[in-house]
Copies of this chain bind each other. A is one copy, B any other.
């Protein structure tokens, strides 16, 4: 969950130069190819990217690339699919903002994959899709493998997936990524609810750190999801010939999900802000209550000590000192004063 990736390595280079920006997760780059139609589904592991051949018929080809840190692999894709150099640069630079670029013969979509780690952290990975007439390329950073369910559906051949074109495949992949966001939000939602209980029951300085950590995570998720709204909206309204009308209904559904996620993020943000308010005012209330009680105790002893002080004076002519009942009387007065003050403070609800 880093704020920014170092871009300084790119300084002064010609645009379109492929420099990987981000953390390298694995050394190797895995390239998997699916070729399918309603009637068949072939699956290959590509070893040499230059061997890649795109069938010319009406079948759909999906090439999934895990690892974007090798310039030569990206360049091979660029040559084979005639991709724009800026597109390749955006794939290699994992510090992109989610977006949709329309390159006329293909669409380019950049998204963030969010995964909730076991420790409550949010891991982020960039995924880029190139959607052509009869192919889909997906490039990710080789972290979490989200697409296994899609692959099973392709292999199984049930459902709509095998009967539709490349646009529906891209929809299925994007939908999988967006569904993952709900999981992250559920995790955050649970943490916020547990935070709210803790803030009421036992506010501590560490709670403040938790509040701000959650705030930052929400900011982070919002940055990943917010620009997606517009990107998917544009996709669902595009006039492109290989985006079929029936698939656009599905993109509108994904759009609805993204809008709902943005909405939920805003609600969670307001809940975290409310927690901060409650935290601050209950910390202050507690501290003040303690001070009040302590000061009440001090205040009660002031007149008592004063009375003791009076009878500790050494005047020769102090008649009370010679009285047989002087001492009990003094103790009695002290007791009365203390009782009166206690009652008074309790009546005023100061104690």
Task: List the interface of chain A (C-beta within 8 A of B).
Answer: 3-4, 6-8, 10-16, 84, 86, 90, 95-97, 99, 101, 103, 148-149, 153, 158-161, 171-172, 175-176, 179, 182-183, 185-186, 189, 193, 200, 205, 208-209, 212, 215-216, 219, 223, 227, 249-250, 252-253, 256, 259-260, 263-264, 267-268, 270-271, 274, 276-278, 280-285, 287-292, 294-299, 301-306, 308-318, 320-327, 330-331, 348, 350
Contacts and interface: CB of A to CB of B under 8 A. Distances in A.
The 4 tightest CB contacts between A and B, nearest first, are: A308-B309, A12-B149, A311-B313, A301-B302
Contact of A313 (B148, B278, B327): B327
A291 B280 contact: no
A308 B305 CA distance: 9
Q: How many copies does the complex hold?
A: 5
Contacts of A350: 290, 294
Nearest to A180: B11
A324 B95 CA distance: 82
Contacts of A250: 15, 86
A152 to B, nearest CB: 8
B308 A314 contact: no
Contacts of A101: 252
B260 A97 contact: yes
A276 B348 CA distance: 24
B299 A299 contact: no
A189 B263 contact: no
A288 B286 CA distance: 10
A330 B315 contact: yes
20 contacts: A3-B268, A10-B179, A14-B158, A14-B161, A97-B256, A212-B274, A212-B278, A215-B274, A216-B274, A285-B287, A290-B292, A290-B350, A294-B350, A295-B295, A302-B305, A308-B313, A311-B314, A315-B320, A315-B321, A317-B327
A349 to B, nearest CB: 9
Given A302-B301, A312-B309, A315-B321, A253 B97 contact: no
Contact of A11 (B10, B183, B264): B183
A327 B315 contact: yes
Contacts of A330: 313, 315
A316 B326 contact: yes
A313 B315 contact: no
